[in-house]
C-alpha cells in the first residue's frame, strides 16, 4: 500500500492507494498531521509514501514524519515523468508539479490544460511531447470575495453561490455575479486561448471549487477533484521504478 499526502495551508489530504486504486481518503487539519498519520499507518500496511506541501512544515514535524514513513518529499529536484521547460524550475510549486505529472500519466500523447481551482486558480499546460511549458496563476473564488470585503469600506464578506442571472439586483447578488461570472468567463476565455493554438486540447478541472464551477462553465472539461493526489501517486511510482 502507498500513502499519498498533500499538505495545504490549513488542511491535509492523505490517500491510501493499493494496486493503483484509491482505497481511502482522509482529510484533517494540518495541526493534527502526526496523530492522523499514526492512525493511518496503524490501520494499513504502508510500503512507500510521498508528501507534497504548499505550506511550510516545521523541522520537528518533518523529522517525525520521516521517522514514521521515510517518504519522498516532493521538490523541484524530485524525478518527474515530464520534461520541465519552466524558465525558473526551482520556483515551480509542488502542487503544480503534481498536476503536470498526473496530466502526462492519465492523458499520454495529448495536449493537456489542467485548471486547479483552489485558493488560487492555476493553469498548467503539458504538450503531447510530455513537455511542461508553464501556465498562469490568478486569484481563486474565495480570495476574490475576501478582496472585495478587505479593500473596500462597505462591501460585505460573502461565500460563493451559484449565479442564476448576470444582472445583480442588490449588493450581494452584484458581488456574486461579479465574482462567479468573472471566474467562469476567465476560465472559459483561457481555455479558448489555448484551443486557438492547440485544437485537440484536453482540459481537466480540479481543486476545491471543481464541482461548483464545472456546472457553470461553457467549456467541455474533465472534472477531477483529486488530480493532485493522482499526480503524487504518479511521481511515487515513477521514482520507485527509476531508483
Q: Annotated binding site for ATP, which residues? A: 6-13, 119
Q: Which position among 67, 70, 95, 243 bears the catalytic label?
A: 95
Strand partners, 26: 14
Which segments are annotated as binding site for substrate?
86, 93-96, 171
C-alpha cell at 85: 521547460
Check: CB of residue 179 under 8 Å from CB of residue 148.
yes
Judge whether 123 and 114 are in contact, CB under 8 Å.
yes
Specify whether 165 is catalytic.
Answer: no
Separation of alpha carbons 145 and 118, rounded Å:
13
Rounded to an integer, what distance in angstroms lies between the CA atom of residue 236 and that of residue 80? Answer: 9
CA atoms within 13 A on the CB side of 131: 7
Which residues belong to the annotated binding site? Answer: 6-13, 86, 93-96, 116, 119, 171
- List CB contacts of 15: < 8 A, sequence separation 6 or more: 3, 4, 5, 6, 22, 24, 25, 26, 226, 229, 233
Per the annotation, where are the binding residues for K(+)?
A: 116
Cα-based distances in Å from 55 to 94, 141, 228: 10, 20, 15
Rounded Cα distance, 112 and 38, in Å: 37
Query: Which residues are identified as catalytic?
Result: 95
Amino acid at each position: 500500500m502507498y500513502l499519498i499526502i498533500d499538505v495545504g495551508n490549513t488542511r491535509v489530504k492523505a490517500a491510501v492507494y493499493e494496486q493503483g486504486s484509491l482505497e481511502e481518503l482522509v482529510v484533517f487539519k494540518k495541526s493534527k498531521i502526526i496523530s492522523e498519520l499514526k492512525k493511518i499507518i496503524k490501520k494499513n500496511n504502508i510500503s512507500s509514501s510521498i508528501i507534497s506541501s504548499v505550506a511550510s512544515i516545521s523541522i520537528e514535524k518533518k523529522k517525525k514524519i520521516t521517522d514514521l514513513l521515510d517518504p519522498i518529499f516532493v521538490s523541484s529536484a524530485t524525478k518527474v515523468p515530464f520534461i520541465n521547460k519552466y524558465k525558473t524550475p526551482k520556483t515551480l510549486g509542488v502542487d503544480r508539479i503534481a498536476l503536470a505529472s498526473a496530466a502526462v500519466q492519465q492523458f499520454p500523447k495529448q495536449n493537456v490544460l489542467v485548471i486547479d481551482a483552489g485558493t488560487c486558480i492555476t493553469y498548467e499546460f503539458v504538450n503531447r511531447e510530455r513537455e511542461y511549458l508553464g501556465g498562469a496563476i490568478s486569484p481563486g473564488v474565495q480570495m476574490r470575495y475576501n478582496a472585495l470585503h478587505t479593500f473596500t469600506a462597505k462591501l460585505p464578506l460573502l461565500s460563493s453561490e451559484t449565479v442564476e442571472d448576470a444582472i445583480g439586483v442588490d449588493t450581494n447578488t452584484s458581488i456574486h455575479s461579479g465574482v462567479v461570472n468573472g471566474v467562469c468567463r476567465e476560465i472559459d476565455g483561457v481555455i479558448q486561448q489555448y484551443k486557438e493554438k492547440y485544437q485537440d486540447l484536453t482540459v481537466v478541472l480540479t481543486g476545491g471549487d471543481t464541482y461548483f464551477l464545472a456546472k457553470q462553465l461553457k467549456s467541455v472539461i474533465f472534472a477531477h477533484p483529486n488530480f493532485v493526489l493522482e499526480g503524487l501517486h504518479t511521481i511515487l511510482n515513477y521514482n520507485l521504478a527509476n531508483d
